[in-house]
């Protein structure tokens, strides 16, 4: 089997974020890179849905394609941002992930769904980041489902 990233022609774009959500996605991507993930792409928009970050985790027994949903909030209001990733959102993420894996011939690779919470309190220069690994299973019917 060839390297998972051998098909990747270029790294993800690093243009300046345009809005608060994009700032959160950039902070999440930087966090993931610091802990050893390779960022494949950000803000992937497909007919089936959108994926904030696609990365590769090399820490396990095999390379794992990681589909990351980023939830950004301005302050910690006693709710978990990850709670916003409801079953409908999980289904859309699963469909977009499956389309990505099929489109790149990566169905034989391990994959999972993570959530990164980014909370940016007022006046704070850097956000608080919480990474939830394997946050939810694939939802629906098809090859990548249980």
Q: Going from the N-terminus, what domains does the chain have, and what CATH number goes with each?
A: 20-136 (3.40.1350.10)
pLDDT tens for residues 50-97? 999 999 999 888 899 999 999 988 876 677 777 778 888 999 999 999
DSSP the chain: ---TTTT--SPPP-PPP-SHHHHHHHHHHHHHHHTT-EEEEEEEEETTEEEEEEEEE-SSSS-EEEEEEEEEESS--SS-GGGG--HHHHHHHHHHHHHHHHHTT-TTSEEEEEEEEEE--TT-SS-EEEEEEEEE---SSSTT--
Q: Is the pTM of this model over 0.85?
A: no
The average pLDDT across 125-143 equals 86
């Amino acid at each position: 089997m060839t390297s998972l990233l051998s098909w990747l022609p270029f790294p993800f774009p690093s243009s300046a974020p345009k809005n608060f959500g994009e700032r959160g996605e950039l902070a999440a991507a930087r966090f993931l890179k610091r802990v050893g993930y390779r960022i494949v792409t950000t803000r992937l928009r497909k007919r089936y849905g959108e994926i904030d970050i696609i990365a590769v985790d090399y820490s396990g027994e095999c390379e794992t394609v990681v589909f990351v949903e980023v939830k950004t909030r301005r302050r910690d209001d006693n709710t978990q941002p990850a709670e916003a990733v409801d079953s409908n959102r999980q289904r859309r993420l699963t469909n977009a992930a499956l389309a990505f894996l099929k489109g790149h011939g990566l169905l034989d690779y391990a994959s999972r769904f993570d959530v990164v919470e980014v909370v940016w309190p007022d006046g704070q220069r850097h956000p608080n980041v919480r990474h939830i690994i394997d946050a939810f299973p694939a939802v629906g019917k098809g090859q990548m489902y249980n």
